[in-house]
A and B are shown apart, each in its own frame.
Chain A
């Protein structure tokens, strides 16, 4: 009996000491984390030599995994643009597949440096989730798609219908809010992803399906021919919500926020100024005006070089790398989003000079 008791006491002591060790190592960890955050994300990324970007793997035009195992889409292009800005090499980027469910956790746990995954800028995400939305790269809005020969012409006709929607998204919440306000009774059918919804729609399980219009246009353009093809579908004119999509970073790191924000804004500025991947070399050698010179870190008429890149902590000529290797906003858009059936002209994503919302503050 005494023997057993001694063993018990020893065991208790062992457990206590283990806990003590665990606690003390925890303290060290938090200290290390504190000093880590003091160096900032920019320094961490530069030291690492690559940038980690969270993207989507299943939305053509935005973030999509191709048959050869590489990613494509406008969000992916901005990952490349950041790598080009930071390292003068657009391939120094690690893409991490972020799902709707784990994207903010990936960002918070510092597994990714920036999240570019068709993420809608909302107040709650910006404020409560400790994340900061930098710039909107794509202005989207939620729409509803129906069969072209359907009797549904507007939201009011949705009374009594069944609508397919992706779970866990702002889309699902918007649908409920909008139709609830209007007093329209409907049955929602929740699915995990777009592919599942298309399948269910083809099988006739729902009368309509709702998603961001950018997404719907892409799905419509690629609607299988044996199910009727693109012409058998019609997108309702109403827009249920505003969905501004863009890169997201962690809160409280303004230095890194500025880098991500200005790399994106500078691609838009390049579009306004007519700087393209084709003419960036000649424009840098011989800038037509001070605005272009400021953007590209070149000297205009023998004047001083503007410190735009240096004040961000990057190379003064970082935008030459970005435009040369990736392109300006228009080039990126036309390479990724336009092929899925979303023309830029006339949409919210046209330049402000053409009635759109894409607008870059001046660089000077």
Chain B
């Protein structure tokens, strides 16, 4: 009869002891603990009351289209699904070959998918999105199972890299070709994603090139690169975007002067490229001079030394800074709303300006904040993965 209580007692004591030693050891800490619990409880209560009682999420659900697609014309949505399927598939395959999903990752992804299926994509959209998720899961599993063979794995990796390189221009072609949708009507979250992808895709190589040029011993190359970096970093992005829209068209030859979005993208790529160049230059300086000397002694050509010895070490050292620059670009894409584009934030602003949603800007802005947080958090998780894969900090 006594046995169970004796078994339970140590556990009870353990919790009590832990609480006593960690939370209530002394008057000061007891007061602090009580205060923190009260504040946390109040915050939690306020958030829950707002989300489930006070908030009217109809401003978001009615304006879903405005937030996700902006002014994108009706009847042309089909153009967006193939790129989305391809992108999700490529992400899944890439994740499968280079890394693996932890239980926590799977939980997050499932939560995101369920959230989208319950609140965002219904009916046909839900089916199409669900299909994309299933495709991604199948590709991930397939790649995990077949990728154990090293030659197979390297072939897969090559295919995935080629896939990514094709995907970017392919998306643009699918959206615009055959009487498609011109850039002026791109909008919503789709525009933010396209701009961020293009910005990152082109700014990274440009930044590396600028960094190498700046540390070059040829004076002209060096000055040119330094001038580009210092001039573009010298002004705020908003000012540069205004210049892209209202000043640049007067100077550019007609061939380059095709669309505002092209001018603006050039500016964004230059701007991000300049910051990335300085980050990469920091990485280059972190590589001990002995590395280059050793490579030279082995008789490697200058090109090979840079590409195979210096750059891999330099880039590896600056991954966190590079990713934070990309996250910053992802959020800066909302600045495009000043160029008369209706991006996700612009769509939300238009939504809470509608007569029936006056005073509902909290809901709209919180939803947008959540979307951008999800994007930034995802990038940060992927960056941790890359660091782990490359063994940064574990040597």
Taking Cβ atoms with an 8 Å cutoff, the residues of A that contact B are 4, 7-8, 10-11, 14, 22, 25-26, 29, 57-61, 64-70, 94-99, 101-102, 105-106, 109, 111, 193-196, 198-199, 202, 218-219, 221-224, 227, 340
Residue of B nearest to A218 (CB): B355
Within the complex, the shortest CB–CB distance from A233 to chain B, in Å, comes to 12
Within the complex, the shortest CB–CB distance from B256 to chain A, in Å, comes to 11
Residue of A nearest to B184 (CB): A94
Please, which residues of chain A bring their CB within 8 A of the CB of B351?
Answer: 67
Residue of A nearest to B359 (CB): A224
Contact A69 B70, beta carbon cutoff 8 Å: yes
Q: How far is B254's CA from A150's CA once the two chains are assembled, in angstroms?
A: 60
Interface: B240 (CB within 8 A): no
Q: How far is B355's CA from A102's CA once the two chains are assembled, in angstroms?
A: 24
Please, which residues of chain B bring their CB within 8 A of the CB of A57?
Answer: 342, 346, 349-350, 353
Number of interface residues of B (CB under 8 A): 43
Q: How far is B356's CA from A221's CA once the two chains are assembled, in angstroms?
A: 10
Please, which residues of chain A bring their CB within 8 A of the CB of B338?
Answer: 99, 101-102
Please, which residues of chain B bring their CB within 8 A of the CB of A222?
Answer: 355-356, 358
Please, which residues of chain A bring their CB within 8 A of the CB of B178?
Answer: none
Interface: B219 (CB within 8 A): yes
- Surface stretch bound by A, among B5-13, B41-49, B60-68, B376-384: B60-68
Residue of B nearest to A12 (CB): B220
One of A64, A69, A102, A193 near B340 (C-beta < 8 A): A102
Interface: B74 (CB within 8 A): yes
Interface: B73 (CB within 8 A): yes
The A-contacting residues of B in range 181-225, CB under 8 angstroms, are 184, 187, 218-220, 223
One of B62, B70, B73, B353 near A60 (C-beta < 8 A): B353
One of B64, B350, B356 near A65 (C-beta < 8 A): B350
Q: Given that A69-B73, A94-B184, A340-B355 are known contacts, is A7 also in contact with B220, CB under 8 Å in the complex?
A: yes
Please, which residues of chain B bring their CB within 8 A of the CB of A340?
Answer: 355
Interface: B52 (CB within 8 A): no
Contact B250 A64, beta carbon cutoff 8 Å: no
Q: Given that A7-B219, A59-B353 are known contacts, is A227 also in contact with B359, CB under 8 Å in the complex?
A: yes
Please, which residues of chain A bring their CB within 8 A of the CB of B220?
Answer: 7, 10-11, 14
Q: How far is B74's CA from A199's CA once the two chains are assembled, in angstroms?
A: 32
Contact B219 A65, beta carbon cutoff 8 Å: no
Contact A58 B340, beta carbon cutoff 8 Å: no
Please, which residues of chain B bring their CB within 8 A of the CB of A195?
Answer: 349, 352-353, 358-359, 361
Contact A69 B71, beta carbon cutoff 8 Å: yes
* Given A10-B220, A67-B62, A68-B66, 17 extra CB contacts under 8 A: A7-B219, A57-B342, A57-B346, A65-B71, A67-B64, A69-B70, A69-B342, A95-B71, A96-B184, A102-B242, A102-B245, A109-B249, A111-B245, A111-B260, A222-B355, A222-B358, A224-B358
Among A67, A68, A105, A222, max chain B CB count under 10 A is at A67
